[in-house]
Chain A
Amino acid sequence: GESVGLHLPTLSVQEGDNSIINCAYSNSASDYFIWYKQESGKGPQFIIDIRSNMDKRQGQRVTVLLNKTVKHLSLQIAATQPGDSAVYFCAEIFYGQNFVFGPGTRLSVLP
């Protein structure tokens, strides 16, 4: 469905702490999920993905958790660094090629 609101949710964390960014998705037919990172002035970059038959996937310093029961996706960043400051958003993919993007969360890392 469409998101509402003209502002971006912001999460502020201390450098070195863990960050958790959440995303709710809408389509129970979605079979693939992606997290993107978008730095200021740049296009979105792929971070990590997860298929619907999994509930957890780990990358380097990042973990994605999927809860299909409540249609919820989260991105955990361990030991957050200043370079992690960006907008993060999720995407759900259904029928193999239809992308629906979340509105995004701005992560600010405090020194």
Chain B
Amino acid sequence: DVKVTQSSRYLVKRTGEKVFLECVQDMDHENMFWYRQDPGLGLRLIYFSYDVKMKEKGDIPEGYSVSREKKERFSLILESASTNQTSMYLCASSASGVSAEGYTFGSGTRLTVV
């Protein structure tokens, strides 16, 4: 089974802090994605990456950046956390030529910014 592991389940950070959310997948997938999930709004794509050192903006990249130095790891960075970034963050990965069953999510990181 593909495993997508997010390093933290719950995080509490202060406004203005720099925050790193880590995601690691173990199936040699090319594609990795970061979403945030808010009630009533569904999953919204923040950033994605189709290869090492490549990144593309999703629908809501403002206030975020990403890093993909290794194929298995995709990091989401909040340069200066704000309260409106309190949310559930989900990482996903897939192989190229994605099939739905190969698109796998991590368990999520619930971030609270106070």
Contact = CB atoms under 8 A, between A and B. Distances in A.
The answer to whether A binds B is yes
Contacts of B98: 96-97
A34 interface: yes
Contact of B90 (A5, A6, A43, A96): A43
B41 A43 contact: no
Contacts, number: 56
A104 B105 contact: no
A4 B44 CA distance: 13
A61 interface: no
Nearest to A44: B105
A42 B108 contact: yes
Given A43-B90, A44-B90, A97-B98, A4 B103 contact: no
Contact of B107 (A5, A42, A49, A103): A42
A101 B42 contact: yes
Interface in A61-106: 89, 91, 93, 96-97, 99, 101-104
Interface of B: 4, 9, 31, 35, 38-45, 90, 97-98, 100-101, 103, 105-108
Interface of A: 2-8, 32, 34, 41-46, 49, 89, 91, 93, 96-97, 99, 101-104
